[in-house]
């Protein structure tokens, strides 16, 4: 064994001894998985300690919108680290928090003029829930303490947002301990039925409901379930009619993933609260932001008892905000969204072509998302998806499935040659994994 491969083996051994991995059956992992041991990641590629290089098909769990280690983001982080790493956002402010607030609110749909910072996507949604609950509690409607969310929705990991989750497998173990949430059919299963069900629910029970929470345009973790913009327009009208807050969770869909900067733009609507994370710092640091309109903000004024008593240690921290400000500059100066339009057409064409494969029951795409369903194999730990993963890895692509859904969500800036390779490998890997079935 060379030194390098001995060192790699040592890391894997330590890892398997000590580290409990997320969303992982650990006995299976220990027995069968040879993990990628990442030593470097740049652009759309992850390098293993053994020298192999993988195209990152999912942009590091959807965070690395501008690719790994974008030189301008790394430089911004280093600059900031030399100056100011941390201060609490409590009687203290700093340029990053202020500049990011201005830039984010300017980029967002109209009316979202205030920003509350938190730690990640889950807390960005948690903040939206708490803001809604406290708003109604102190503005004359304390009975509004239930949420509405979509079947197949995913909003993160804390107990609060687990209640919103509409992926049954993720919610089941915690179901007895969750805040109150009613689930309505997803528009991905039929637009008209979904609108009708929501209308019926609000007509009967709006007085109990604090907010409706949706992932706009695409339900990510449920398997890249794309739906029509018309649903968001209907939802905006219904929320207005019944005076229910509309929360758009753009943690995954924001920052150009679906084409425009925000998925809400497909429908031309503005929510009352918008949640952002993931692309917010381009995968450099964990950070979340919740944008709110005047009505919500004003509902916490006039008496100090009405203040929002919530805040994380790392709220609006200088390192995160400095990087997030630079992310928005890169989007503008490097015309990232223009590049998305061109790449989105390639992704759409490639997935359309894969609809012809015998093992594929459906394909879809939107912006920098392409997905296909493997026929006859359901559930998060479905086997065939992992067989595709193995085939793709042999071909130099890191392609984690969502159960029987094989998808790509590459960095928005992925070079053409890597995008072509990625799309070819998805095609070949699906064929190879399903040939003998």
Ligand X SMILES: *Cc1c(COP(=O)(O)O)cnc(C)c1O
Determine the 3-state secondary structure of 346 from DSSP: helix
Residue ranges in 173-212 that form contacts with ligand X under rule CB under 6 A:
none
Choose the binding region for ligand X from 106-114, 153-161, 236-244, 381-389 (rule: CB under 6 A).
153-161
Spatial CB neighbours of 317, under 8 Å, sequence gap ≥ 6: 85, 86, 89, 285, 287
In 167-251, at which residue ranges do the beta strands (DSSP E only) sit? 181-184, 209-214, 218-219, 225-226, 245-249
Choose the binding region for ligand X from 120-128, 169-177, 312-320, 373-381 (rule: CB under 6 A).
120-128
DSSP 46: E
Nearest-approach distance from CB 186 to ligand X, in angstroms:
13
Return the H-helix or E-strand segment holding 127: helix 121-138
Q: Which is nearer to ligand X, 157 or 431 (CB)?
A: 157
Nearest-approach distance from CB 122 to ligand X, in angstroms:
3
Nearest-approach distance from CB 55 to ligand X, in angstroms:
21
The mark string for 217-246 relative to ligand X (x by CB under 6 A, - otherwise) is ---xx-------------------------
With binding defined as CB under 6 A, does residue 157 bind ligand X?
Answer: yes
Q: Which is nearer to ligand X, 292 or 359 (CB)?
A: 292
**What is the torsion angle, in degrees rounded to the nearest 10, for the CA atoms of residue 424, residue 430, residue 433 and residue 435?**
-100
**What is the torsion angle, in degrees rounded to the nearest 10, for the CA atoms of residue 415, residue 417, residue 423 and residue 425?**
-130
With binding defined as CB under 6 A, does residue 215 bind ligand X?
Answer: yes
Q: Which of 155, 236, 312, 364 binds ligand X (CB under 6 A)?
A: 155
Q: Which is nearer to ligand X, 188 or 433 (CB)?
A: 188
Question: Angle at CA 286, nearest 5°, toward 283 and 289?
Answer: 105
In 3-75, at which residue ranges do the beta strands (DSSP E only) sit? 38-42, 45-48, 53-56
Q: Which is nearer to ligand X, 22 or 91 (CB)?
A: 22
CA–CA dist 412, 258 (Å, integer): 10
Asked if residues 409 and 369 have their Cβ atoms less than 8 Å apart, the reply is yes
The mark string for 22-61 relative to ligand X (x by CB under 6 A, - otherwise) is ----------------------------------------
Q: Which is nearer to ligand X, 277 or 408 (CB)?
A: 277
With binding defined as CB under 6 A, does residue 125 bind ligand X?
Answer: yes
**What phi and psi, each to the nearest 5 degrees, are found at residue 284?**
-85, -40
Q: From the centroid of its chain, how far is CA 283?
A: 11
Burial class (CB in 10 A: 0-12, 13-18, 19+), 111: middle
Q: Which of 251, 280, 289, 322 binds ligand X (CB under 6 A)?
A: 251
Q: From the centroid of its chain, how far is CA 321?
A: 19
Burial class (CB in 10 A: 0-12, 13-18, 19+), 128: buried
DSSP 249-314: E-TTTTTTTTSSSSGGGGTT---SEEEE-GGGGTTSS--EEEEEEHHHHHTT-SSGGGS-----TT
Q: Which of 120, 126, 272, 391 binds ligand X (CB under 6 A)?
A: 120
Q: Which of 54, 135, 136, 252 binds ligand X (CB under 6 A)?
A: 252
With binding defined as CB under 6 A, does residue 249 bind ligand X?
Answer: yes
The mark string for 271-310 relative to ligand X (x by CB under 6 A, - otherwise) is ------x---------------------------------
Nearest-approach distance from CB 136 to ligand X, in angstroms:
23
Number of residues interacting with ligand X: please give it, by CB under 6 A: 15
Nearest-approach distance from CB 100 to ligand X, in angstroms:
17
- By CB under 6 A, name the binding residues for ligand X: 120-122, 125, 154-157, 215, 220-221, 249, 251-252, 277
């Amino acid at each position: 064994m060379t030194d390098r491969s001995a060192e790699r083996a040592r890391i894997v051994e330590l890892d398997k001894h000590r580290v409990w991995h997320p969303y992982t059956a650990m006995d299976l992992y220990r027995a069968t998985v040879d993990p990628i041991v990442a030593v470097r990641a740049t652009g759309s590629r992850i390098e293993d300690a053994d020298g192999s290089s993988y195209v990152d098909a999912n942009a590091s769990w959807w965070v690395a919108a501008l690719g790994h280690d974008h030189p301008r983001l790394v430089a911004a982080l280093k600059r900031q680290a030399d100056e100011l790493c941390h201060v609490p956002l409590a009687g203290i402010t700093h340029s990053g928090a202020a500049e990011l607030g201005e830039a984010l609110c300017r980029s967002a749909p109209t009316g979202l003029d205030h920003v509350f910072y938190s730690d990640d996507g889950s807390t960005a949604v948690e903040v939206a829930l708490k803001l809604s609950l406290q708003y109604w509690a102190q503005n004359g409607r304390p009975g509004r303490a239930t949420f509405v969310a979509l079947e197949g929705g995913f909003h993160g990991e804390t107990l609060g947002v687990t209640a919103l989750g509409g992926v049954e497998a993720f919610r089941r173990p915690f179901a007895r301990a969750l805040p109150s949430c009613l689930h309505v059919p997803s528009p991905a299963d039929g637009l008209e039925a979904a609108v009708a069900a929501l209308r019926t629910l609000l007509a009967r029970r709006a007085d109990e409901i604090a907010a409706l929470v949706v992932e706009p345009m695409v339900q990510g973790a449920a398997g890249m379930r794309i739906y029509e913009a018309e649903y968001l327009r209907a939802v905006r009208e219904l929320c207005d009619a019944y005076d229910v807050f509309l929360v758009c969770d753009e943690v995954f869909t924001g920052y150009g993933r679906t084409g425009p900067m925000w998925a809400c733009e497909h429908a031309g609507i503005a929510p009352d609260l918008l949640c952002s994370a993931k692309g917010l710092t381009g995968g450099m640091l964990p950070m979340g932001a919740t944008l709110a309109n005047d009505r919500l903000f004003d509902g916490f004024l006039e008496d100090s008892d009405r203040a929002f008593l919530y805040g994380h240690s790392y709220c609006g921290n200088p390192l995160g905000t400095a990087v997030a400000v630079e992310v928005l500059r890169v989007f503008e100066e490097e015309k990232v969204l223009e590049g998305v339009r061109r790449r989105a057409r390639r992704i759409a064409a490639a997935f359309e072509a894969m609809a012809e494969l015998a093992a594929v029951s459906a394909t879809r795409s939107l912006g920098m998302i392409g997905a296909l369903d493997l026929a006859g194999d359901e559930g998060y730990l479905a086997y065939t998806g992992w067989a595709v993963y193995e085939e793709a890895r042999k071909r130099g692509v890191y392609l984690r499935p969502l159960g029987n859904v094989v998808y790509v969500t590459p960095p928005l800036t992925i070079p053409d040659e890597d995008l072509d390779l990625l799309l070819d490998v998805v095609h070949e890997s699906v064929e190879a994994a399903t040939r003998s079935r």
